[in-house]
Amino acid sequence: MIVISLLNRKGGAGKTTASVNLAAIFAHTYKKRVLLADIDPQANATTYLNKFISKDEISIYDVLCKDTPIKEAIIDTDIDNLKLIPANVNLDNADTQLMMLPTAKEFVLKKKLRELDGEFDYIFIDCPPARNNLTTNALTASNYTILPCEATEYGIDSIFAMTEFISNVQSDVNDNLKVAGILFTKRENTTAQRYYIEQFKTNLDSYHFFDTEIRKTTVVEKSLAEHSPLIVYGKKEEVTNDYIKVAKELEQIIKGEI
């Protein structure tokens, strides 16, 4: 069971798009048993997969802040082999509630995921745009993290802000955590983006950069509006192929081939 968190404190970086689409490709194309955990109070991954969970239904909030067994929070999606732990607005309170725990507040999600041992090949965690107790829990439970980001000035700043956060988690609570790589999203072939990518690579030379970059295209918004991941909405689209290539690269990273 490999756990992968999609992380960046910046909103709009492409975390949710990457987590939903990578999870869908591993499930649909590679026939892996995949779970996507939505730990963002905005519940964008849940919405993308055409689910809406009311305040009274079981969600990731109950798993993190109550005694609810994780299996009770898992629901089916329209994609074979892809299950979801949905989020809803209740999660707004989770960060504070986790902070108030007297001990082991970083390990809550990790302990809950242990209840699923052997049931999934991959677990993807779509993180909120923050460095808080929710993201610390995600990283503590993860084998890998992927950092999706745009090649902009603010994009570089946000990744720098994540590097210290990741190092702290690695040294304090999870020395198994590896950075799979930085994934450029919304890629356009402009002089500005080429400049920022060069800046990124010289300033963060200890990090892997995914060879594949995700092109910017309105196809992504359309897939979101249809609540249907790219592999189903637009199998033949170039951006779908970008994500398939990222999934292959991720497999190679996990196997130690890169």
Residue from 43, 139, 214, 244 binding ligand ADP (CB under 6 A): 214
Where does this chain touch ligand ADP (CB under 6 A) — which range of 58-66, 93-101, 159-167, 209-217?
209-217
Report the C-alpha gap between 74 and 68 in whole angstroms: 11
Q: Based on the shown chain and the rule CB under 5 A, indicate whether residue 16 belongs to the binding site for Mg ion.
A: yes
- Closest separation in Å from C-beta 215 to ligand ADP: 6
Residue from 22, 25, 220, 230 binding ligand ADP (CB under 6 A): 220
Q: Based on the shown chain and the rule CB under 6 A, indicate whether residue 28 belongs to the binding site for ligand ADP.
A: no
For residue 153, give the DSSP letter. Answer: H
Tell me the helix, strand and coil percentages in the chain, rounded to 5: 45, 15, 40
Tell me the C-alpha to C-alpha distance, in Å, between residue 123 and each of 22, 23, 75, 97, 105. 11, 8, 14, 24, 21
Per-residue contact flags (x/-) with ligand ADP for residues 226 to 255, judged by CB under 6 A: -------------x----------------
Contact 200, 151 (CB under 8 A): yes
Subset of residues 29 to 48 that bind ligand ADP, contact rule: CB under 6 A: 44
Out of Mg ion, ligand ADP, none, which partner does residue 17 contact, by CB within 5 to 8 A per kind?
Answer: ligand ADP
Two tokens at 137? 């829990």
Residue 206's contacts (CB-CB under 8 Å, 6 or more residues apart) are none
Q: Based on the shown chain and the rule CB under 6 A, indicate whether residue 11 belongs to the binding site for ligand ADP.
A: yes
Residue from 17, 81, 137, 174 binding ligand ADP (CB under 6 A): 17
